[in-house]
């Protein structure tokens, strides 16, 4: 069991905390809004009403033994910066902060954030990619260069081995997994002798340009 703290019960923060708890983790949530704390208290391990802008208040919570601390203060940019600075000074590890824009992210990293996230931007990028490439069943952006997609193999792939398909040579992409949609069997890093079936979904990693070339085969 891992231990996480979520500071700030914005919509994102609340959903994250509840889902982490459902996954079997110990989850502590902190917010100064008593109503929000009461609302979520039955769905997390511990719910605490506290002044998150007070370093002394945060110090009493012993946050240095957490596996991760997520700061999600909604549109309150100054609050997230202050909380991040205090957490760093108190020895907290793996500080993850929800950011509003690139400038906000730069400041957060300077004051001690280990990771910054922008869920709205990430969601918009993934949705744009899915709309642009509807043949991709699932799409995950790893970086500006590399993505992972789930793709139903075209008819021409059925009955052939991955070695015969030469996907790395032809498309410069790599199959890192195969999921059979009927049996739900998942094969990690299948070998060149794996025979592609019509019930398979291929999990493929590559650049957007290379993946789009593969998509054109469908």
Mean pLDDT of 5-19: 92
Mean pLDDT of 141-156: 76
CB 19 within 8 Å of CB 70:
no
The whole-number pLDDT of residue 130 equals: 57
Mean pLDDT of 161-186: 90
DSSP, res 124: H
Residue 218 has pLDDT above 60, yes or no: no
Residue 68 has pLDDT above 80, yes or no: yes
The token pair at 79 is 């609050």
The whole-number pLDDT of residue 206 equals: 87
The token pair at 71 is 């700061």
Q: Which of 8, 53, 51, 46 is nearest to 27 (CA)?
A: 46
Q: How far apart are CA 55 and CA 86, in angstroms?
A: 6
Going along the chain from its start, the domains and CATH numbers come out as: 3-117 (3.40.50.720), 122-215 (3.30.70.1450)
CB 139 within 8 Å of CB 130:
yes
Mean pLDDT of 87-115: 91
Q: Tokens 């997230």, residue?
A: 80
Beta bridge partners of 33: none
The whole-number pLDDT of residue 37 equals: 95
Averaged pLDDT of the chain = 86
The whole-number pLDDT of residue 150 equals: 81
Question: In what helix (H) or strand (E) does residue 26 lie, and over which residues does it extend?
Answer: strand 26-31
CB 6 within 8 Å of CB 27:
yes
The whole-number pLDDT of residue 137 equals: 46
CB 148 within 8 Å of CB 177:
no
The whole-number pLDDT of residue 138 equals: 52
Q: How far apart are CA 161 and CA 193, in angstroms?
A: 5
Residue 10 has pLDDT above 80, yes or no: yes
Percent of the chain with pLDDT over 90: 49
- pLDDT tens string 114-143: 999 887 776 666 556 555 554 544 545 556
């Amino acid at each position: 069991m891992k231990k996480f703290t979520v500071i700030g019960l914005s919509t994102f923060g609340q959903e994250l905390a509840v889902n982490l708890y459902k996954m079997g983790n110990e989850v502590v949530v902190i917010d100064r809004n008593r109503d929000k704390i009461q609302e979520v208290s039955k769905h997390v391990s511990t719910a605490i009403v506290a002044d998150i802008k007070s370093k002394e208040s945060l110090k009493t919570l012993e946050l240095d033994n957490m596996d991760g601390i997520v700061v999600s203060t909604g549109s309150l940019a100054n609050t997230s910066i202050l909380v991040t600075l205090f957490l760093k000074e108190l020895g907290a590890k793996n500080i993850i902060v929800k950011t509003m824009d690139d400038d906000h992210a730069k400041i957060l990293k300077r004051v001690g954030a280990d990771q910054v996230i922008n869920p709205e931007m990430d969601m918009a990028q993934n949705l744009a990619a899915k709309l642009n490439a509807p043949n991709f069943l699932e799409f995950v952006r790893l970086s500006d260069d590399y993505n992972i997609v789930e793709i139903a193999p075209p008819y021409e792939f059925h009955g052939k081995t991955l070695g015969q398909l030469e996907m790395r040579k032809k498309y410069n992409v790599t199959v890192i997994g195969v999921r059979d949609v009927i049996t739900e069997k998942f094969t990690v890093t299948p070998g060149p002798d794996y025979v592609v079936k019509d019930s398979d979904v291929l999990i493929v990693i590559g650049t957007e340009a290379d993946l789009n070339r593969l998509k054109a085969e469908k």
